[in-house]
Amino acid sequence: MIQTSFKSNQRLFGTDGIRGTVNKDKVTALMAVNLAMAAGEYFYGKAGTKKSRVLIGKDTRLSGYMLEPALVAGFTSVGLDSITTGPLPTPAIAHLTRVLRCDLGVMISASHNPYQDNGLKLFGADGFKLNDEVENEIQSRMISGPILAKSENLGRARRMEDAIGRYSEFIKQILPKHEDLTSMKIVLDCSNGASYKVGPEVLFELGAESVIIGAKPNGKNINLDCGAMFPENLAKITKLEGADLGIALDGDADRVIFSDENGEIINGDQIIAVLAREMQKNNELIDNQVVGTFMSNLGLENYLHKLNIHLHRTNVGDRYILDKMIKSNSKLGGEPSGHILLADFAKTGDGLLTAIKILSLLKKSGLKASEFLRPFKPVPQSLKNLKNIDKNVLLNKNIINVVENQKKELGKKGRILLRPSGTEDLIRIMVECTDLKLINTTTEIISKAIIKENDNKKC
């Protein structure tokens, strides 16, 4: 039987909005209608304009055609005008929500997940993602039911025709007016996702010679063996084309991974190091501090320490990174997966914005990407995902003891991090150490212990 609603004791929101398998999990048309009515009621009038309105964007998933009109129906029923943009990156929706003075914004996307999944990310009138308190209030209103608008006060819906152009101009302003990307050859992988129109357009307008891949979405090929989740093909093409740099965005383009001219992949930690170094040179870092996550490589922390830059660590997800950046007044934050936040320009991770900034720095350096974009040597790291595991197993005393014993074995040579995924049904085990043998041994000991305890719990 298809689930068309959620239980009152089930938390609808995860670490990055709502996400799940369409028509199997909590992501259904009925949920979208209910969410829109509840969120619309809560945010009505928040922007302080005479007519309340919401901005709705999406990536290229087939289910977007189902969820978009469901959201429009819900929002208009409580009196909000709805503005739809069609396929556009998540950071574009965050930006345009604020500059268009909308009461809220919604991005229909499951980010890097396969096409069968979809989700909803909500932004307030200020362009920031919602905190737990607001999400809980919206869910509470979904349960109690909204007050519908009178027939004469229903909202209207329209398509925003110049959304791509507005966002393109915003992206380009990260470069000084006298700069462009002429003489640079770039391979861009749009992951068959939300950036497939705006990404190539921005590179063209900035004068770059571009080889575009992953820009033929069919509703089912988003993130399919392409983009930031699978950058190997990008890396291969970058080398074959003799390009200066390869750029791989994910499905909703809020993260970016690079390839150098030799076809070697460069992750987010290296990019944070480059940006921190350059921003420090230009006195753009306040109090010499950067925000990373518990997944950030120990090599990054050591490199920043040599520059007298402090690395704050926080939970995984740009929402938590931004929160720490605001509290510490940091200008730069990010994570290995390619979420990079530049506080002076954006309020969420923006893959395209980061890519243009890196291209600008690379061109001015006069160096090869392999020389310029690898400022430190990463400490070896193992990441293992255990699927179909009860996440509460991490609270088991036996597991806690096993992990503590392994931490003692590693000592100061490494780190261990166990965390349940906030968007998928799995547990991630990260082990980092200068001793490769110790990494493999530690990973196996912990994973076997978790599987054993999980199986015992089922009996």
Supply the residues annotated as catalytic: 111
Beta strands 81-87 and 157-159 are parallel
- How many of the other CB atoms lie within 10 Å of CB of 398? 13
Long-range CB contacts (< 8 A, 24+ apart) of 239-245? 239/263, 241/185, 241/187, 241/211, 242/185, 243/185, 243/186, 243/187, 243/211, 244/184, 244/185, 244/186, 244/362, 244/368, 244/369, 245/184, 245/186, 245/187, 245/358, 245/359, 245/362, 245/369
Residue corresponding to tokens 């969820």: 67
d(CA 30, CA 18): 14
User: How many Å apart are CA 328 and CA 418, to the nearest integer?
Assistant: 26
Angle at 57 between CA 136 and CA 155, to 5 degrees: 75
Asked if 436 and 380 count as a contact pair (C-beta separation under 8 A), the reply is yes
Could you tell me the strand order of the sheet in which 185-189 lies?
209-213, 185-189, 245-249, 256-259, 265-266
- In sequence order, what are the beta bridge partners of 104? 54, 124
Query: Coil, helix or strand for 31?
Result: helix
29: three-class secondary structure by DSSP: helix
Tokens matching residue 54: 């919401």
From residue 242, alpha-carbon distances to 189, 201, 239 in Å are 16, 21, 5
E-state strands within 174-275: 185-189, 209-213, 245-249, 256-259, 265-266
